[in-house]
Structure 1
Amino acid sequence: MRILLVEDDRRVSSVMVSMLQRRGYEVEHAATATAALEAAPCDLVLLDMNLPDGDGLDVCRALRARNDQVGIIAVTARAEERDRVTGLRVGADDYVVKPFSMAELEARIEALLRRSVRHPPPAREVAEIGPLRIDHAARTVHLDEEPVTLTRKEFDVLASLARQPGVALSRERILLDVWQTTWSGKHTLEVHVASLRAKLGRPDLVETVRGVGYRLRA
């Protein structure tokens, strides 16, 4: 997941960038409205409303007009109800008032990202992908017609990958699908993938995509 942080306060931006990177996010920082509008596409924007060269409301409006799918969280000292209402009306998905805790911000980011993946591509009730046969309703897996016994989370990881076979899914996307959070215990996903590969007996079926996540070989 790629986050654009739009914040002109160096001290605040430094803390936020560090926190987000520790959580595994890729972060681009923009200190001005101009830089925010020139930034590369992202998955989510944390947007300060008080910028040195423009109003954050205008930036929010422009970002929303450009991409109606990107998540936008207004992060600002403007605490009046009318400010909140205006921010939401011009396109923000959520509104966080300074000062805030990093725990609160992280929870709001995760909630917004969960909403963005609430309707993943529908899984066929029974999917046949190469030698794999996955029955999503019965929660059973067969490999070359032989049953494979998986734990609940191992099945959920496989099901997440099976929704889009051949497509590389980010670590964060899989965590959201399976654990409903992007911040699970250290190496939680890696441990489950390793166990899944061992039980399948075909490590090549679940491929590691360096710098991204995992892919189920189509």
Structure 2
Amino acid sequence: MRRNRVGLVVARLQKFLRTIRSPGEPNVAAPGTADCAEVEIFKNLLEMADQIAAHNPGGVLQLVSAILRPLQAEQMLSVAERPRHAALSPVDFEQLFSPDYFFSYFNPEDCLQVPVEGHQVDLGRDVVLPTPWAKERFAASLAFVGAGKQLGIWRQDSNHGILLVLPWRIGIVTGGNHSITAGILANEGKVSPTNVVDLGPLLDRVKSDGVHFICRQSGRRLAKVRDARMAALFELGRYIGPA
């Protein structure tokens, strides 16, 4: 069984600090021309965010959901459509926006630990990213958990763990992947997160132009954009505002 990773967040962040390049070293993204279609996707998504925010900034959270729903579906469905023991790996908090760990730029001040009190994750509204991996447990959860089923309506259990990432309100499941997946698919349940982090300071330090992630202070290229949707998602955090 995959370990609950909530308790490892701080330790991993400290590990990244030891592996990032020193300020004097160049950290320029690999050469190459960005795919024009990908850059167009990035620009179009931000233009849509502008249109939404002009009427209601809170509506940008629904655009966040639209961007992440395909990823959510892939994570939930891989256990069903792939061979046994071949489900996708869990979504990695540190690689949420880029395969390069926090753009090789992380320091502890970029990630604020927020008290969990007052925060709640709605499985039917918020984007929650579980990764079920055991076929039998996946089948049993969908068969037995939920209103009108043998085990009844979905309820939070002691093994459920969710890391809530602000300001986007992205929930990354760290425990109870199978039953949380059942709650999402049944549009049932609310969960108190086990850990809450706010990446607002990272937004203050890093920006994206759709081609690279860039240090806002020095203009240095930190990492190449690999996925236009995820680069746009990062920028949408500015529309949502403080957590």
Q: TM-score scaled to structure 2, two decimals?
A: 0.24
| Higher relative strand content | 1
Q: TM-score scaled to structure 1, two decimals?
A: 0.26
- Give the greater-gyration-radius structure (CA): 1
